[in-house]
């Protein structure tokens, strides 16, 4: 991937496919370190699958037997000297907590660190494809914090305007770009 924001979009699509209702994307910058956390309440993975999920030959794809999403994200973090981890839980009974959290850290000062890139586009793409999703985006630096919550957007817009309306998407993009 050319940008971390593309890896983030790709990993978030896994959450959508796992039927997540809530998705949180948090970017925390401290010094030269960027920590990305993508956390969902989707169906989760079994411990066996989670342990092998970052292996390219582990996949839920039906079109091929290779899945590169998590391996590429892991590589992107580790090639900067950063870390990567998966925490996942499947519900064994109704009502059990379930979901997956992927955490990766990047030394942005490392020569092999991908640029973050167009994160606003990633968030807008997720809203466009999943207007009903409860998505929280957080970008925190030492200077301050940007937060966008689709639940809050929905509250302001009411029932009449879907979040995938082009004017709403344009607003979200400008909101995020203005803050970046």
Partner 1 sequence: MKSLQELAEIREKMKGKVALREGQNGIRVVVGMATCGIAAGARPVLNTLVEEVEKQGLSEKATVSQTGCIGICRLEPIVEVFEPGKEKVTYVKMTPEKAKQVVSEHIKGGRPVYEYTIGEK
Q: Pick from 34, 77, 124, 135: which binds partner 1 (CB under 8 A)?
A: 124
C-alpha to C-alpha distances, 121 to 61, 84, 138, nearest whole angstrom: 25, 24, 14
DSSP string, 31-91: TTEEEEEEEE-S----HHHHHHTTSTT----SS-S---HHHHHHHHHHTTT--EEEEEE--
Which range touches partner 1 (CB under 8 A), out of 19-27, 87-95, 100-108, 150-158? Answer: 150-158
Contact call for residue 64 and partner 1 (CB under 8 A): yes
Is the Cβ–Cβ distance between 34 and 89 less than 8 Å? no
Q: Which of 28, 29, 37, 68 binds partner 1 (CB under 8 A)?
A: 68
- Residue ranges binding partner 1 (CB under 8 A): 1, 6, 9-10, 13, 17, 61, 63-64, 67-69, 72, 118, 121-122, 124-125, 128-129, 152-153, 156-158, 160-162, 165-169, 171, 174-175, 178-179
């Amino acid at each position: 991937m050319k940008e971390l924001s593309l890896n983030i979009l790709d990993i978030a699509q896994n959450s959508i496919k796992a039927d997540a209702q809530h998705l949180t994307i948090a970017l925390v910058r401290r010094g030269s370190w960027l920590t990305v956390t993508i956390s969902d309440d989707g169906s989760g993975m079994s411990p066996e699958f989670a342990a092998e999920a970052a292996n390219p030959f582990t996949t839920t794809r039906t079109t091929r037997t290779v899945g590169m999403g998590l391996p590429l994200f892991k590589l992107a973090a580790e090639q900067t000297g950063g870390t990567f981890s998966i925490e996942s839980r499947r519900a064994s009974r109704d009502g059990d907590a379930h979901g997956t959290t992927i955490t990766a850290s990047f030394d942005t000062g490392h020569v092999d660190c991908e640029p973050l890139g167009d994160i606003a586009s990633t968030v807008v793409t997720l809203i466009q494809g999943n207007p009903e999703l409860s998505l929280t985006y957080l970008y925190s630096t030492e200077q301050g914090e940007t937060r966008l919550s689709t639940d809050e957007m929905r509250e302001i817009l009411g029932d009449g305007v879907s979040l995938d309306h082009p004017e709403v998407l344009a607003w979200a993009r400008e909101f995020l770009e203005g803050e970046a």
